[in-house]
Amino acid sequence: MRIEPKRLPRLDYDKVQDSLIRFYNKRPDEYGLLDRPQTAYNDYSNIISKFCSDKNSVVLDVGSGSWRIPETIAAYGYKKVFGLDYFSNDILENYKSHLKSPNVELFTYKENNIFPFPDNSFDVVSSLCVIEHLIYPEAILNEMDRVLKPGGKFIISCPNWSGINVPIMGCLSILKSKDRFWRFNSFSDSFLGIFRSVKWWLEATISHKPKYVLIYPRMSGTEIDFERSDDDAVHLCQPKSFKKYFTMRNYKLLMYNRGSGETLYSKIFNNVFPSMATTNIIVAKK
């Protein structure tokens, strides 16, 4: 079992990817996918609505998880909303039966994570808490870019697990409650994590290309050992990797973490240090 954030060598990419796909197709109850507060989906849909006011728009939500996110987005009056995820046939049919809006459709990936849509299909392509679960993040970002129309909006909302606040919270959690915080299960590892966060930021800063920092998920043998939120995360989502991705493709950044966060502290911190933000909310125009 690996709990601490240990870097994932390329040799194991496909093995971990297969474990993740098996896990997501099974959708165990402890994952709590359908128990997530509706407010999280409302906040996410509000971001989409803020940057896309045209109700004739067609929206793709990548990694929708169930019917709930596409339904929430569709309530804002968009022409069509598509949800895409690793749906097994049984789960896909089950989730389709829950759809109430005629403007929502659910799809699963084609082989090799290819989206089942032609180029330039969508006015908005977005994802909520998805990118941190991707072994091949740039491949999915490329697919999102491929199906987005010129002038369309690319919206990413996800945690920044590479940020310095994460190991600091690990130190506080272990000192106060004697309990692990995310992958940090000891004070020493949490403390060293502060220096790793700075190292990851430096690596992303000096790299000429987007640098995606990957780690092992929490595993037992060859299977995902899920217990708490983001135990299955594999990508640390360093904000500069996204910024460089969009810059290299001549996108215009409309939002880069400034304004993100739920607490007063996180809002202030994210405004001052967007590349170390507690939460990634990045919006770019193609």
Calculate mean pLDDT across residues 72-79.
96
Task: Say what angle helices 165-177 and 187-206 make with each other, to 10 degrees.
Answer: 170
**Domains within the chain, CATH numbers bracketed:** 10-285 (3.40.50.150)
Report d(CA 254, CA 124) in Å as an integer: 14
Q: 223-224 and 219-220: which strand pairing?
A: antiparallel
pTM: 0.93
Q: What is the pLDDT of residue 5?
A: 63
Q: What's the Rg (C-alpha) of the chain? A: 18
Question: 151 in the Ramachandran plot: left (φ > 0), alpha (ψ -120 to 50) or beta?
Answer: left
SS3 content of the chain, % helix, strand, coil (to 5): 45, 20, 35
Average pLDDT of the chain, as a whole number:
92
Calculate mean pLDDT across residues 173-179.
93
Q: What is the pLDDT of residue 34?
A: 72
